[in-house]
Amino acid sequence: MKRTLSGSLYLAACLLLAPAFAHHGPVGYDNVHPVTLTGSVKEFHLIQPHPLISLEVKNDKGDVAEWSVEMTAPNHLGRYGGNGKRRKPGDEITVTGNPAKNGLKVLNLRKISYANGEVIPLGPSPEPGQ
């Protein structure tokens, strides 16, 4: 009986805590040295849990590198008018975010704008003076 009770409690704890540990955190990204990239949207995937932008970025020599830009959740984007329906292949955008610590060309998005400077909202606008 005691073994069954402790086993049941262990199973219950695992089931309750698993979702908390299943979602990744910011530890894989360099939060100290943000990167800003300008490039052309190759693909946009409005998927759960994070929409992804494949961004083609040219360096000074003209070589193209493909970056994967991870956005915030689709429902969060939709609440603030930044849904993915406006991003399409060929769009020129500028993104700023935290790069992956492991050297992969992956960016955790913090700011995004079109080439004309129009900022694409990712969350609520800050109050004036903040």
Q: Could you give the C-alpha distances from 38 to 58, 95, 112, in angstroms and in order?
A: 8, 6, 10
CB 30 within 8 A of CB 106: no
Residue 114 has a pLDDT of 87
CB-hemisphere CA count at 13 Å for 54? 8
The domain locations on the chain are 26-114
Class of domain 26-114: mainly beta
CB 95 within 8 A of CB 109: yes
Task: Look at the pTM and tell me if it is higher than 0.75.
Answer: no
**pLDDT tens, per residue, the chain with 130 residues:** 455 655 555 555 444 444 444 455 668 899 999 999 999 999 987 777 777 889 999 988 999 999 999 886 655 565 555 555 567 789 899 999 999 999 999 999 899 888 888 887 776 655 454 4
Q: Rounded to whole angstroms, how far apart are CA atoms 72 and 59?
A: 26
